[in-house]
Amino acid sequence: MKKLIFLVLVSLTIFSCGDEVEFNTPAFQGDRTNQLWRAEAFSASIDANGFLTITGTNNVETVNLRVPSVTEGTFVVGDVNTIEAEYIDAFNTRFTTNNRPDETVSIYPELGEIVIDEINLINRTFTGTFRFLAFNASGLNSIGYTNGIFFRVPLIFGDFPANPVTCNDVEGSADGARLAYEATFTDVVFIDPVAYTAACSAYINALNVQRTYCGDVDGSIQDIIDVLADCQISCEQATLNRVEAQLQYNAATISNYAALCAQYQFYLEQQILYCGDDDGSIQAEIDALDCGDADGDGVPNVFENFNGDLDGNLDDDDTDGDGIANYLDADDDGDGIPTADEAVDADGNPIDTDGDGDVDYLDNDDDGDGLFSNFEVGDSDGDGIDDYLDADDDDDTIPTLNENADPNADGNPADALDTDLDGVPDYLQA
């Protein structure tokens, strides 16, 4: 009977106290090891980063509740350092939810919560609840609080941020960073290692901010961070880059060969960087590449092997027979027009003006009029087409080939027919 009366009295005392906290005066209290602990002084502060600390002390012991955002809501303590409950005893021993329990005590972090139910901006006060189990540095000893209440605790230091950061804010930022990161390797021709690393690092930073403001109770955010690791592309991604570069290289033309060869070499080197090259095969491929243009005529060396030597011998290819191999000859066909100046199409590839099967830079009679191009200087008919590319040099509708411009067929119009003996050969006189 006495025990029953005692329990009733205890209950009345607790509920009476709770009523006082809830409806009357500001307070800070909680049950510590099943005994009521009440603070004699309490206050709140907001630092320059917008982090909130609510403190209660009885001048011997102190409890600090820290959250990273001045917003109403529930903050789980025990999984990230920015959300913390701390107890400091009379001997200045610090117990905090940021200390993990020793494995002999528990292999899991002990989670608690700080709940901010009301922020009164006019009166500058905070009301809410808390519960936690905090450990000392060794993780062997702990202090626990349940049924914690802080009621109308006044803000003493700092100011309310104009736009406090919320969990929703940083979750949105993390989602945006994730999309930007995924865009560096999804539906792209090549994965740019630099862009990938930058976007990956930005994503990790956003995830860390998310952990700061939202917590990470199930460890899923940290799992993502661990998977991202050092933010380097994988060997598989580097290999995909090399495969695509090789396909483009194999389809290269004269106009784009130099760029695609250099690109292929770059991604081969990237493959070595991210995958290694144990058998040396990748380096051998690099060593075999020839991206050069020795004579600077716009035709890469590999396109000047005209006789199709399987060994790639370029020294026995001499189209104009001047003793200079084509890959070293700035005028491959010896027609007086530098190879670099011969006609090309809109893409920069050589064309065959007269359609005889030889592109102009290998054809000493580019327009097929029977006269060597080096003897056709200027634009006789003023039609904007140089004579060496004009099959009707005088624009009289009679092709130069049909105007007896080279009776002895040596390609030199010195003996061209001049019917009226006026000093102007027929093929140049309309």
Q: Where are the domains of the chain?
A: 17-157, 167-233, 249-291, 365-430
pLDDT digit string, tens, across residues 156-176: 999 999 999 999 999 999 999
Diameter over CA atoms, the chain? 148
Closest listed residue to residue 213, CA positions, set 161, 164, 170: 170
Residue range 207-227, pLDDT digits in tens: 999 999 999 989 999 999 999
Between CA 169 and CA 176, with CA 171 as vertex, the angle to 5 degrees is: 100
Distance CA 311, CA 304 (A): 13
Predicted pLDDT of residue 20 = 45
In whole angstroms, give the CA distance from residue 106 to residue 100.
Answer: 9
The answer on pLDDT for 17 being more than 50 is no
Assess whether pLDDT exceeds 50 at residue 36. yes
What confidence score (pLDDT) does residue 7 get? Answer: 38
Of the ranges 227-231, 293-297, 322-326, which one carries the lowest mean pLDDT score?
322-326
CA distance 252 to 99: 62
Average pLDDT of every residue of the chain:
86
pLDDT of residue 310: 55
User: For a pLDDT cut of 90, what percent of the chain falls above it?
Assistant: 58
For residue 11, pLDDT over 70 is answered with no
Given this model, what pLDDT does residue 10 score? 38
φ and ψ at 47, to 5 degrees? -85, 180
204 Cβ neighbours under 8 A, 6+ residues apart? 225, 228, 231
Q: Is a pLDDT exceeding 90 seen at residue 233?
A: yes
Residue 153 near residue 42 (C-beta atoms within 8 A): yes
The whole-number pLDDT of residue 305 equals 77
Instruction: Give the residue with greater pLDDT, 392 vs 261.
Output: 261
Mean pLDDT of 64-69: 97
Split at pLDDT 50, 70, 90, the class of 1 is: very low
Q: What is the pLDDT of residue 24?
A: 66
DSSP string, 180-245: HHHTTTSS-SS--HHHHHHHHHHHHHHHHHHHHHH--TTSHHHHHHHHHTT----HHHHHHHHHHH
Residue 307 pLDDT grade (very low, low, confident, very high; cuts 50, 70, 90): low
Residue position matching structure tokens 């820290």: 66
| pLDDT of res. 5 | 36
Nearest residue to 372 via CA among 335, 331, 344, 339:
335
Residue 353 DSSP one-character state = T
* Segment 360-382, tens digit of pLDDT: 787 777 677 777 777 777 777 77
Residue 94 has pLDDT above 80, yes or no: yes
**Per-residue pLDDT at 308:** 60
Three-class DSSP category at 94:
strand
Give Cβ neighbours of residue 226 (< 8 Å, ≥ 6 apart).
Answer: none
Mean pLDDT of the region 267-288: 96
Contact residues for 131 (Cβ-Cβ < 8 A; gap 6+): 30, 112, 113, 145, 146, 147, 148
pLDDT at 9 over 60: no
How would you write 47-88 as a 3-class SS string? CCCCCEEEEEECCCCEEEEEECCCCCEEEEECCCCCCEEEEE
Rounded average pLDDT over 106-120 = 90
Q: Which pTM was predicted?
A: 0.72
